């Protein structure tokens, strides 16, 4: 992931997108492989240094209700990370928290309320403020708009874009909603059953997907347009995601892939760059169909 | 599979059901469900508060009708009213719900029991809370059958297995012996559909049936719902916040806002040219219609709280086109092929989807 970019991750439940997001902010230690923050492995840091280091790597979760303490006012919740980090005096922290709330268009009047007194959209704004207050470099946004209605969702996506510009933030944007990811991301990774199967620039990936799973995913998304403007052929995948206790051999997608060949169940496809910046793991990615 | 096996076995029942409704001097309309001026209010500490205001629409036999709207607009409440599932206390309902020539609002609980599940089936969003965790899914479907048909335990079980096969569950006999917890979300929703359709209802109400599911599973379930609906002639009342699903599966749609129907008409023409500013605003705020990374349009403001409804048009305070006439309460008026609750409907030219 590059500085200042929005890196989208799409995939169905259980595909591992949240796990990747959590590993990026050091909430989960990788079993194998590593995460590098500017070339440095955060897990190699001492616990004390890591605590300071992870302030720069924040995460916002899907459910704004679960993320806020019902017994704290919005201002207290937003100030809490600063209190924990012990930055500045109490007055400074208070001012910083109010500033952060101001960035997400929440005034002092809202700040004094408790979570149950405000709407879902406003709670999510408070969570964003809470993530911003420590001045992070990267924010993992895990399904942050999934629980919101479309009109609020649009407002929130605009807010994310504004904050990115103002604070030079890098986003990891995790969602199962293709349209949302396609809209906000520079590059998109598609995950299936614990692996990235395709990675590329958002527009290219959406317009000309290389992996059969990406194709199926795009075609399954219902389009709110009149029938004559709908030109995609729908690919309805059969079956369900396999069990992680008994993963399929070869390509993990072969059990549901409409184009599967005998080779697919025998060997795992190589991860390769098909065109500049466009990566895919499929035996038949080169074959047009 | 369901229809073939079903017609063979249910013939006597179907005939009997037909006789009953014939003898009841049906009003000869083509509408299967006719909801007229439905209003629902709830009481809390601060007094009565109205949640639905004069909701009116019809569902024709075999039709697929979609209801779209944001959370709190009253779409689920409308479904619960039709099913007669509103709470007995602290709830007031006015208006008529005419189903198959009979006013459900006038039926008592025992009358409703014969309609619910038999004539009107329902599929909810969260299958896990709709299924009983301590009974096998086969038993639960068989129970539904036995409630409505005088059949033996054994035949009810057989029908349950057939129903599971009809929703394309591989190994239906084995599935029937499973408990809900050992099934995946998609499978549970298939079980719910099997249970709703086993009595071959005339109307199926599906309230966000795919919202909890992944998009590839959603595609499977939608395909199944539409196909079964078509085969059995069941009308489908489909409730969702997903405009895409409505666009791809319904003939007609209704948009609801703040407890009112604001637009009602054929899906195709609403998508091409919405007449109500709220419908247009919903279409406009979807990502994917604009260039990537550009600003999305959103509807300014918030849905008013039920206690502080504007006197005039309920969407007025958020509407870019509000004029003096919008200060008056709006009624649903017929414009072209639709019904719209907007005084300016015929002089506005609002952008549709995919322009």
User: A150: domain CATH number?
Assistant: 3.40.50.300
Residues of B with a Cβ under 8 Å from any A Cβ are 70-71, 184, 186-187, 214-220, 222-223, 241-249, 268, 271-272, 281-283, 285-288, 290, 292-293, 295-299, 302, 352-354
Nearest to A154 among B217, B243, B285 (CB): B285
Report pLDDT for B1.
Answer: 38
Do A140 and A56 reside in the same domain of the chain? Answer: yes
Domain enclosing residue A216, as ranges:
199-280
Do A41 and A104 reside in the same domain of the chain? Answer: yes
Percentage of chain B beyond pLDDT 70 is 91
Q: What is the mean pLDDT of the segment spanning A156-163? A: 94
A121 in any annotated domain: yes
Task: Say yes or no for a CB contact (<8 Å) between A176 and B218.
Answer: no
| Per-residue pLDDT tens digits for B298-324 | 888 888 888 889 999 999 999 999 999
Inform me whether the pLDDT recorded for B23 exceeds 50: no
A5-14 as b/e, with b when 16 or more CB fall inside 10 Å? ebbbbbbbeb
Report pLDDT for B19.
Answer: 37
- A149: chain B residues, CB-CB within 8 Å: 70-71, 241
Residue B92 in tokens: 């007031």
- Checking DSSP bridges between strand B31-44 and strand B91-99, what pairing results, if any? antiparallel
Inform me whether the pLDDT recorded for B24 exceeds 80: no
| Per-residue pLDDT tens digits for B128-144 | 888 999 999 999 999 99
Do A127 and A231 reside in the same domain of the chain? Answer: no
A269 in any annotated domain: yes
Question: Do residues B206 and B229 make contact, with C-beta atoms less than 8 angstroms apart?
Answer: no
What's the residue count for chain B?
355
Q: What is the mean pLDDT of the segment spanning B16-45? A: 67
Do A73 and A213 reside in the same domain of the chain? Answer: no
How does the average pLDDT of chain B come out, rounded? 87
**How does residue B354 score in pLDDT terms, banded at 50, 70 and 90?**
low
Nearest residue to B187 via CA among A246, A219, A11, A241: A241
- A119: chain B residues, CB-CB within 8 Å: 302
Task: Say yes or no for a CB contact (<8 Å) between B215 and A176.
Answer: yes
Do A20 and A91 reside in the same domain of the chain? Answer: yes
Report pLDDT for A231.
Answer: 66
Nearest residue to B206 via CA among B222, B219, B220: B222
Nearest to A182 among B216, B220, B288 (CB): B288
Chain B residue closest in CA terms to A165: B293
Percentage of chain B beyond pLDDT 90 is 64
How many contacts, defined by CB atoms under 8 Å, are there between A and B? 122
How does the average pLDDT of chain A come out, rounded? 92
- A145: chain B residues, CB-CB within 8 Å: none
Residue A139, classified by CB atoms within 10 Å of its CB into exposed (0-12), middle (13-18) or buried (19+), is buried
Task: Say yes or no for a CB contact (<8 Å) between A234 and B271.
Answer: no
**How does residue B230 score in pLDDT terms, banded at 50, 70 and 90?**
confident
Do A162 and A229 reside in the same domain of the chain? Answer: no
Report pLDDT for A270.
Answer: 95
Report pLDDT for B140.
Answer: 96
Nearest residue to A24 via CA among A49, A57, A60: A57
Q: What is the mean pLDDT of the segment spanning B19-40? A: 66
- B302: chain A residues, CB-CB within 8 Å: 119
| Per-residue pLDDT tens digits for A220-261 | 888 888 888 876 678 888 888 888 888 999 999 999 999 999
Q: What is the mean pLDDT of the segment spanning B153-161? A: 96
Give the contacts of B15 (CB within 8 A, at least 6 positions apart): none
Residues of A with a Cβ under 8 Å from any B Cβ are 12-13, 119, 149-155, 157-158, 161, 176, 178-180, 182-185, 202-203, 216-217, 220-227, 229-230, 234, 236-238, 240-241
Report pLDDT for B6.
Answer: 38
Residue A243 in tokens: 């069990």
Nearest residue to A21 via CA among A138, A153, A120: A138
Give the residue from A151, A185, A219 where a domain finishes.
A185
Chain B residue closest in CA terms to A203: B292
Do A168 and A221 reside in the same domain of the chain? Answer: no
Do A203 and A170 reside in the same domain of the chain? Answer: no
Q: Which residue has the tokens 């809390």?
A: B44
Nearest residue to B313 via CA among B342, B350, B281, B348: B342
Chain A residue closest in CA terms to B273: A226
Q: What is the mean pLDDT of the segment spanning B18-24? A: 37
| Per-residue pLDDT tens digits for B195-212 | 999 999 999 999 999 888
Give the residue from A185, A214, A239 where a domain finishes.
A185
Give the residue from A185, A211, A232 where a domain finishes.
A185
- A223: chain B residues, CB-CB within 8 Å: 244, 247-248, 288
A24 in any annotated domain: yes
End-to-end Cα distance, chain B: 42
Task: Say yes or no for a CB contact (<8 Å) between B219 and A158.
Answer: no
Nearest to B243 among A176, A224, A241 (CB): A224
Helix axes B153-166, B185-197, angle to 10 degrees: 120
| Per-residue pLDDT tens digits for A163-188 | 999 999 999 999 988 889 999 999 99
Q: What is the mean pLDDT of the segment spanning A103-127? A: 91
| Per-residue pLDDT tens digits for A186-212 | 999 999 999 999 999 999 999 999 999
Nearest residue to B329 via CA among B318, B316, B319: B316
A285 in any annotated domain: no
Backbone dihedral angles phi then psi of residue B172, each to the nearest 5 degrees: -60, -35
Report pLDDT for B8.
Answer: 37
Residue A193 in tokens: 């059953």
A288 in any annotated domain: no
Rounded CA-CA distance B83/B33 in Å is 12
Q: Which residue has the tokens 């006999």?
A: B173
Report pLDDT for A241.
Answer: 83
Report pLDDT for A151.
Answer: 82
Give the contacts of B43 (CB within 8 A, at least 6 positions apart): B49, B90, B91, B92
What's the residue count for chain A?
289
Report pLDDT for A227.
Answer: 84
Q: What is the mean pLDDT of the segment spanning B167-175? A: 90
Do A214 and A263 reside in the same domain of the chain? Answer: yes
> C-alpha B199: how far from its chain's center?
18
Inform me whether the pLDDT recorded for B14 exceeds 80: no
Rounded CA-CA distance B212/B240 in Å is 12
- B242: chain A residues, CB-CB within 8 Å: 222
**Category of A193 on φ-ψ map: left (φ > 0), alpha (ψ -120 to 50) or beta:** left
A194 in any annotated domain: no
Nearest residue to A33 via CA among A47, A46, A19: A19
The domain total for chain A is 2
HEC sequence for chain A: CCCCCEEEEECCCCCCHHHHHHHHCCCCCCCCCCCCECCECHHHCCHHHHHHHHHHEEEECCCHHHHCCCCCCHHHHHHHHHHHHCCCCHHHHHHHHHHHHHHCCCCHHHHCCCHHHCCHHHHHHHHHHHHHCCCCCEEEEECCCCCCCHHHHHHHHHHHHHHHHHHCCEEEEEECCHHHHHHHCCEEEEEECCEEEEEEEHHHHHHCCCCHHHHHHHHHCCCCCCHHHCCCCCCCCCCCCCCCCCCCCCCCCCCCCCCCCHHHHHCCCCCEEEECCEEECCCCCCCCC
Nearest to B286 among A224, A230, A237 (CB): A224
Q: What is the mean pLDDT of the segment spanning B334-349? A: 92
Nearest to B286 among A150, A230, A236 (CB): A150
Q: What is the mean pLDDT of the segment spanning B216-243? A: 90
Residue B266 in tokens: 């054929």
Inform me whether the pLDDT recorded for B270 exceeds 70: yes
- A161: chain B residues, CB-CB within 8 Å: 293, 295
DSSP E strand boundaries for chain B? 31-44, 47-60, 64-68, 91-99, 102-103, 120-123, 203-207, 235-240, 252-257, 260-266, 333-335, 338-340
Report pLDDT for B3.
Answer: 41
A191 in any annotated domain: no
Q: What is the mean pLDDT of the segment spanning B272-291? A: 90
Inform me whether the pLDDT recorded for B34 exceeds 90: yes
Rounded CA-CA distance A167/A164 in Å is 5
Percentage of chain A beyond pLDDT 70 is 99
Q: What is the mean pLDDT of the segment spanning B151-161? A: 96
Task: Say yes or no for a CB contact (<8 Å) between B353 and A225.
Answer: yes
Rounded CA-CA distance B119/B223 in Å is 22
pTM given for the model: 0.85
A238 in any annotated domain: yes
Nearest residue to B147 via CA among B107, B106, B115, B178: B115
Do A166 and A265 reside in the same domain of the chain? Answer: no
Backbone dihedral angles phi then psi of residue A167, each to the nearest 5 degrees: -115, 10
Do A207 and A147 reside in the same domain of the chain? Answer: no
Do A18 and A119 reside in the same domain of the chain? Answer: yes
Report pLDDT for B266.
Answer: 96
């Amino acid at each position: 992931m590059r500085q200042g970019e929005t890196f989208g991750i799409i995939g169905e439940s259980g595909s591992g997108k949240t796990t990747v997001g959590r590993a990026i902010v050091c909430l989960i230690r990788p079993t194998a492989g590593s995460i590098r923050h500017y070339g440095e492995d955060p897990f190699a840091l001492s616990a004390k240094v890591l605590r300071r280091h992870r302030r720069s790597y924040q995460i916002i979760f899907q459910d704004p209700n679960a993320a806020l303490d019902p017994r704290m006012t919005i201002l207290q919740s937003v100030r809490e990370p600063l209190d924990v980090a012990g930055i500045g005096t109490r007055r400074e922290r208070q001012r910083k928290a109010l500033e952060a709330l101001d960035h997400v268009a929440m005034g002092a009047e809202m700040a004094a309320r408790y979570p149950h007194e405000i709407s879902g959209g406003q709670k999510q704004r408070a969570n964003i403020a809470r993530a911003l207050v420590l001045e992070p470099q990267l924010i993992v946004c895990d399904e942050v708009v999934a629980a919101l209605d479309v009109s609020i969702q649009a407002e929130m996506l605009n807010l994310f874009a504004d904050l990115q510009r103002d604070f030079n933030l890098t986003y990891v944007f995790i969602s199962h909603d293709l349209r949302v990811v396609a809209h906000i991301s520079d590059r998109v990774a598609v995950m299936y059953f614990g692996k990235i199967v395709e990675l590329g620039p958002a527009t290219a990936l959406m317009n000309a997907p290389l992996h059969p799973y990406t194709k199926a995913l795009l075609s399954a998304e219902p389009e709110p347009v009149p029938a004559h403007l709908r030109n995609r052929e729908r690919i309805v995948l059969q079956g369900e995601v396999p069990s992680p206790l008994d993963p399929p051999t070869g390509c993990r997608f072969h059990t549901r892939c409409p184009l599967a060949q005998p080779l697919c169940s025998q060997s795992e496809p190589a991860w390769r760059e098909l065109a500049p910046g466009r990566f895919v793991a499929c035996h038949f990615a080169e074959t047009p169909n | 599979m369901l229809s073939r096996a079903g017609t063979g076995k249910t013939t006597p029942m179907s005939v009997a059901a037909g006789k009953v409704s014939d003898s009841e001097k049906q009003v000869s309309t083509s509408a299967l469900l006719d909801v007229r001026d439905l209003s629902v209010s709830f009481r809390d500490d601060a007094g009565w508060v109205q949640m639905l205001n004069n909701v009116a629409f019809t569902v024709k036999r075999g039709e697929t009708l979609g209801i779209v709207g944001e959370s709190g607009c009253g779409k689920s409440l409308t479904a619960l009213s039709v099913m007669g599932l509103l709470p007995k206390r602290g709830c007031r309902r006015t208006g008529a719900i005419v189903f198959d020539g009979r006013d459900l609002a006038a039926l008592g609980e025992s009358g409703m029991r014969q309609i619910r599940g038999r004539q009107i089936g329902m599929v909810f969003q969260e299958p896990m809370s709709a299924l009983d965790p301590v009974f096998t899914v086969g038993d639960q479907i068989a129970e539904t059958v036995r409630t409505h048909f005088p059949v033996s335990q054994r035949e009810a079980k057989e029908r349950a297995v057939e129903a599971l096969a009809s929703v394309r569950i591989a190994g239906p006999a084995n599935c029937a012996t499973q408990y809900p917890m050992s099934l995946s979300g998609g499978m549970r929703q298939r079980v719910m559909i099997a249970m709703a359709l086993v009595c071959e209802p005339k109307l199926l109400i599906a309230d966000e049936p795919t919202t909890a599911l992944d998009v590839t599973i959603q595609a499977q379930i939608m395909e199944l719902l539409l196909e079964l609906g078509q085969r059995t002639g069941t009308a489908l009342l489909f409730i969702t916040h997903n405009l895409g699903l409505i666009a791809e599966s319904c003939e007609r749609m209704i948009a609801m806002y703040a407890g009112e129907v604001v637009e009602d008409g054929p899906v195709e023409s609403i998508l091409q040219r919405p007449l109500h500013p709220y419908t247009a605003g919903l279409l406009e705020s979807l990502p994917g219609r604009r260039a990537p990374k550009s600003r999305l349009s959103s509807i300014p403001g918030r849905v008013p709280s039920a206690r502080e409804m504007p006197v005039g048009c309920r969407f007025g305070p958020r509407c870019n086109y509000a004029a003096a006439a919008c200060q008056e309460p709006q009624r649903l008026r017929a414009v072209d092929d639709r019904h719209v609750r907007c005084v300016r409907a015929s002089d506005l030219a609002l952008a549709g989807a995919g322009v």
